Structure 1
């Protein structure tokens, strides 16, 4: 399973903008008034399925929420070994793994869910640099 996040932002429309003759139109851009929506894309590399979840923020806690929901969905389907491939974003560091494992074990204890207790979750990260076997691009 691969997981990555993206952001959708509203931008001002410059199609109908007035300007003085021989000058470019200026559209006021107030960053605080723009709406932003964070999305999390999961790709099941074994089955070829995709899933998208949206959150108002993209912080580590939100990524933990998406990771835990994804793991719970696959445990319900009978999976006992789940590998979540992550990139090297700052929200994917060690704190994410620790928080996700703690929340999963807490859910397993509170729900008395033996399948969740027996599930192994791995968090490999993509390499920071290009592998040596990949030829350089021209």
Structure 2
């Protein structure tokens, strides 16, 4: 813990090590509820396009296994919003999978990391 002195009516500067290089990893994980098979991808950074591509690849693999409906639970990360869902929809239509597999998104409540499987893997 740090402490600092400051003149009255001024903001003290508190030393911080935030500029220190950190290792960061983003995890995307899916679990087949029937077989228990895990589909995991770890990336150093994750953008909306990366998340959409992960779900596209997942849909392709699930379609090969004759799965016709996916339920996907998402936390409230900014990469899980409408932009990602639209990109997924466009790719599914372009690849001809839109009629073969239905995707339904379920959002976890805000501030509930216990409901997010990836938190336990990458934390």
Match of 2:58, SS state, is helix
Is 1:125 the counterpart of 2:113? The answer is: no
The residue that corresponds to 1:47 in the other structure is: 35
2:81 corresponds to 1:99: no
Structure 2 partner of 1:67: 55
What is the rounded CA distance, in whole Å, between the counterparts of 2:108 and 2:23 in structure 1?
Answer: 30
Deviations 1:96-138 (A, max 9, x none): 1111111111111xxxxxx6523211111112267xxxxxxxx
SS for the counterpart of 1:85 is strand
115-124 or 57-66: which moved more? 115-124
4+ long deviations beyond 4 Å: 34-37
Shift in Å, 1:77: 0.4
Unaligned runs of 5+ in 1: 1-28, 109-114, 131-138
Match of 2:64 in 1: 76
Contact 1:75–1:116, Cα closer than 8 Å, also in 2: no
SS in 2 for 1:82: strand
TM-score by length of 1: 0.58
* Alignment: residue pair count: 95
User: 2: CA distance between counterparts of 1:97 and 1:117?
Assistant: 16
